[in-house]
């Protein structure tokens, strides 16, 4: 063998060894699935055909009434890296929790059944997590076909306090599970709240944020997000939504206050104000007349007061939020008038 070939062979061997070392850690990817026969195959194959091989894909069929179960079983029969669990419908929290309890990986990732990973999503997440010695790696998500101008090379690294602040700001570090790779130990002792039909992941991400040492976020879009017409995100307002919002955000505010985290407590109160204000507008939009819930939201907004109003970005929202605090009936009427042509 020539010296040139020997050198190339050594370099290739070194590269292969380095790649194998990177993939020594096992990742469990949990897919909660319910009536997703048109998207589940794309979701699963997007993971198994990716560049990170040391994985297990756990599909939790949450009592689907279409052919989701059959499609998932067929794919599982073709490969030993896919596990399918069937259960009665326990809501989104129940399926996420079942997947977590059956996961054997060193790291946990979630993928919603109508979404899909870019081929190098898991490899990129693991690379950044390892490079920055982080507990959580976060990538950017994207809606396919929607062009957004951003810097793909931007990287943020937060310590625990910084991560909590970024989480409460809810922009670059949000409360979803599906664009994150998380060390398995951070889930120890944590269960999903099965009374929540919305924001069950937000509640768990908050618990995890209180345990982290370091979080890294890179700005490359590796997760494809699709709003299915029948998904909970796309459906009209429901009582479960406001119940979940109040329960989760009241707990976050309470935790910050109890821990004596004065600055975080203020930021949590502001975050709750903005979240509930968004819920209130959605109730107006869908003409949902739940007076008790609206009164509860109004009371919290009133208690938060000026700091909540000032946190809103547009002058229009600042004025409208002030109106909601002063007179809900007038605010609802004005909303209908202002959005009549939309």
Q: What is the pLDDT of residues 192-228, one digit of tens each?
A: 999 999 999 999 999 999 999 999 999 999 999 887 6
- State yes or no: pLDDT of 84 exceeds 50: yes
> Do residues 142 and 148 touch, judged by C-beta distance below 8 A?
yes
Asked whether 256 and 165 are in contact (CB, 8 A), the reply is no
| 73: its two tokens | 């079983």
The model's pTM:
0.89
Contact 136, 180 (CB under 8 A): yes
Round to whole Å and give the CA distance between 200 and 61: 18
Residue closest to 283 by CA, chosen among 257, 251, 228, 246: 246
- Nearest CA among 217, 110, 227, 230 for reference residue 174: 217
- 59 close to 33: Cβ distance less than 8 angstroms: yes
Residue-level pLDDT at 229: 59
Give pLDDT tens digits for 121-165: 999 999 999 999 999 999 999 988 776 667 777 899 999 999 999
Q: What are the structural domains, with CATH classification, of the chain?
A: 25-224 (3.90.550.10), 239-338 (no CATH)
Q: Cα torsion for 45, 51, 53, 54, to the nearest 10°?
A: -110
> Of 266-275, 283-292, 317-326, which range is least confident?
283-292
Return the ∠ at Cα 273 (arms to 269 and 264), rounded to 5°.
Answer: 20
pLDDT in tens, 238-287: 788 999 999 999 999 999 998 778 889 999 999 999 999 999 999 999 88
Q: Grade residue 17 by pLDDT with cuts at 50, 70 and 90.
A: very low
**Which parts of the chain fold into alpha helices (H)?**
3-22, 40-48, 68-78, 91-101, 121-131, 160-169, 200-209, 239-258, 262-285, 291-304, 306-311, 315-326, 328-338
The label of the residue with tokens 């707990």 reads 251
pLDDT on residue 23: 79
Picking from 18-32, 65-79, 201-215, 298-312, which range would have the lowest pLDDT averaged per residue?
A: 18-32
Q: What is the pLDDT of residue 146?
A: 76
């Amino acid at each position: 063998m020539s010296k040139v070939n020997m050198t190339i062979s050594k370099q290739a061997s070194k590269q292969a060894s380095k790649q194998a070392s990177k993939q020594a850690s096992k990742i469990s990817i949990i897919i909660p699935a319910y009536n997703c026969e048109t998207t589940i195959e794309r979701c699963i194959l997007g993971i198994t055909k990716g560049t990170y091989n040391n994985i297990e894909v756990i599909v939790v069929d949450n009592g689907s009434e279409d052919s989701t179960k059959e499609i998932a079983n067929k794919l599982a029969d073709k490969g030993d890296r896919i596990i399918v669990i069937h259960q009665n419908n326990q809501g989104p929290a129940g399926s996420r929790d079942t997947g977590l309890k059956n996961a054997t990986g060193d790291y946990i990732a979630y993928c919603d059944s109508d979404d899909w990973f870019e081929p190098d999503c898991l490899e990129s997440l693991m690379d950044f997590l390892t490079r920055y010695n982080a507990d959580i790696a976060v990538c950017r998500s994207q809606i396919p076909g929607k062009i957004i101008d951003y810097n793909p090379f931007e990287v943020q690294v937060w310590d625990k306090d910084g991560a909590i602040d970024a989480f409460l700001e809810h922009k670059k570090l949000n409360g979803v599970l599906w664009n994150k790779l998380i060390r398995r130990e951070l889930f120890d002792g944590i269960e999903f709240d099965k009374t929540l039909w919305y924001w069950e992941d937000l509640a768990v991400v908050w618990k995890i944020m209180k345990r982290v040492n370091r979080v890294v976020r890179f700005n490359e879009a590796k997760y494809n997000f699709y709003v299915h017409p029948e998904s909970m995100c796309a459906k009209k307002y429901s009582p479960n939504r406001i119940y979940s919002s109040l329960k989760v955000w009241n707990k976050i505010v309470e935790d910050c206050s109890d821990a004596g985290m004065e600055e975080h407590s203020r930021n949590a109160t502001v975050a709750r104000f903005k979240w509930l204000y968004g819920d209130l507008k959605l109730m107006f939009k869908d003409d949902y007349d739940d007076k008790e819930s609206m009164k509860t939201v109004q009371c919290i907004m009133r208690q938060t007061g000026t700091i909540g109003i000032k946190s809103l970005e547009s002058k229009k929202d600042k004025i409208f939020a002030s109106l909601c605090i002063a007179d809900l009936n007038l605010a609802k009427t004005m909303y209908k008038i202002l959005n009549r042509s939309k």
